[in-house]
Amino acid sequence: MRRRQAILAAGSALLAPSLAHAAWPEREVTILVAYGAGGSTDVCTRAVASEAEKILGVPVQIVNRTGGQGTSAPAQVTTGRPDGYTLATAGMAALAIMPHVMDLSYTLDDFTYLPGYARYLYGIAVPADSPFQNVRQLIDAAKARRITFAAAGAPQNIGMFELNAKLGTRFGFVPFPGGAEAVTAAIGKHVDFVVQNPPEMLPALQSGRLRLLASASDVRWKEYPDTPTLREEGVDLAVDSVLGLVGPKGIPAERAELLSRVFLEAARKPIVAETLNRFGMIPAPVPAPDFERMQRTAFAEFGPHLRAAGLAKR
């Protein structure tokens, strides 16, 4: 009898990485992705979900919920049951910026926060024949006159507003519905420069239609290792946004802890890092408490910049 129990115990140990024997989850987990299929947020979330389902032992399916500059997915998730089966992607745009700008159905207190898993990269690029050869020239010009830039929205525009407040520059924001349209506007010289992600900018940079002046993030782009960051150019600014997961407020603690552990482990997989790097993002495995703290800190910091720029709701 003891020999049979030992054999069964040994067999059970082979079922992992596993939570396959756990009582929960009993069915698939759904992630509402706040942007369209095929984009960097979508592809990178699918990479994390693919690794997470291997650990959870149930499928993790992706459903795209676009609109509202990234707010539709988190808004929908707050209306669902807090059972841990439906989650949403959310970043600083949805959690720290847009609540200042739009009337939304949620506040930062309406979520169960789960880990962050990816950090967006941003860059500043000008048309190929632009007279600006570096960021310092761009800033000097913006102190003398209005210099326009294209972007799809937050947080890129917030970074430029911050420079306006710090340096007395006159960077003027020209909004576009997406990154591709913003890049096209810069190529056509409808604006002086564009602030956007690598996936949207790389084709124009590599074809010679745009020139990258600086990485607006804290790290250099791997495709342009000789192009400095803003901070390396002496400009105290980094445009940052970490993407993570949220669920409805009230997910039972044991389920939230399990989901946090699983998605944090998934985010650390090398195959996820490879996917993120291909789509202009970098790994950012951030534990749930830190991810929540980042959003609340950013929310408090962005408010004054948005009010100063006249973009905050009244």
The DSSP symbol for 69 reads G
pLDDT in tens, 16-70: 444 444 589 999 999 999 888 888 889 999 999 999 999 999 999 999 998 787 8
Which tokens hold the place of 48? Answer: 């994390």
pLDDT in tens, 237-283: 888 889 999 999 999 999 999 999 999 999 999 999 999 988 888 99
pTM as predicted? 0.81
pLDDT in tens, 72-95: 999 999 999 999 999 999 998 899
Sign for the pseudo-dihedral over CA of 206, 208, 210, 213: positive
Whole-number Å distance between alpha carbons of 257 and 252: 9
CB-CB contact of 229 with 207 (8 Å) = no
Q: Which of 99, 66, 169, 118 is nearest to 283 (CA)?
A: 118
pLDDT band, residue 10 (cuts 50/70/90): very low
Residue 162 has pLDDT above 60, yes or no: yes
Domains and CATH numbers, the chain: 16-120+241-308 (3.40.190.150), 123-233 (3.40.190.10)
Which tokens hold the place of 196? Answer: 């956007």
Cβ-count burial of 101 within 10 angstroms (0-12 exposed, 13-18 middle, 19+ buried)?
middle
